A and B are shown apart, each in its own frame.
Chain A
């Protein structure tokens, strides 16, 4: 069964600190993995995307890693800001259909305190 599991479920950190969010998946055949940021009451916005051959991708203070062998990914946030408070969702796409079906994790709810 294709699944995406994220940890931790929620996380509270102080402004300026770093944090790492985890994602494990069983989706096969694998196409790509994205990290989305979803602010409360808004739609998800893509942060990074990685295909099978990529093992790291950065977008400003966000750095995602991918280990396709162990089917694990992480999202590292450096020097956190209050605006980083959001849900971070790991999304894996398969390449077994023309739809490019997406499998969503439940997200990690990050809260950054001043």
Chain B
């Protein structure tokens, strides 16, 4: 079944630890995105990718990094987690429809990260 997956769903970790949030999609989409969302606030784009070996920073400055070695996989890494990184992280993907109006983004279930 075509879908987008994120693991783990919940993560509680201590300050200074290195973490990787996983995101995989089985829809064959070229574009993938990472968003950060705090309670009651709008989603903020932190990273995106047009395809394999393409990664760009989004609107919101983030200390995280991403990689895109395979089309279906777009992991996000924090080298040294801090309490300020506590948030919900949402992964999304869309087709590479340049200029098309229906560039719908499909979202994963999210990872709730808590850094103590």
* Interface set of A (CB-CB < 8 Å, partner B): 4, 9, 31-32, 34, 41-46, 49, 51, 89, 93, 95, 98-102, 104-107, 109
A44 touching B107, Cβ below 8 Å = yes
Contact of A107 among B42, B101, B104 (CB under 8 A): B42
A93 touching B103, Cβ below 8 Å = yes
- 12 residue pairs of the A-B complex, CB under 8 angstroms, read A31-B101, A42-B110, A49-B104, A95-B99, A95-B101, A98-B98, A100-B94, A101-B45, A102-B45, A104-B42, A105-B42, A107-B40
A106 touching B99, Cβ below 8 Å = no
Closest to A43 in B: B107
8 new A-B contacts at CB < 8 Å, known A43-B4, A89-B42:
A31-B103, A41-B109, A43-B109, A46-B104, A98-B98, A98-B99, A99-B48, A104-B42
Q: Work out how many contacts link A and B, with CB atoms closer than 8 A.
A: 56
A100 touching B103, Cβ below 8 Å = yes
Say if the beta carbon of B81 comes within 8 Å of chain A: no
How far is the CB of B54 from the nearest CB of chain A, in Å? 11
B43 touching A104, Cβ below 8 Å = yes
Q: How far is the CA of A29 from the CA of B66 in the complex (A)?
A: 29
Q: How far is the CA of A98 from the CA of B94 in the complex (A)?
A: 12
B92 touching A51, Cβ below 8 Å = no
Say if the beta carbon of B73 comes within 8 Å of chain A: no
Closest to B40 in A: A106
How far is the CB of B95 from the nearest CB of chain A, in Å? 10
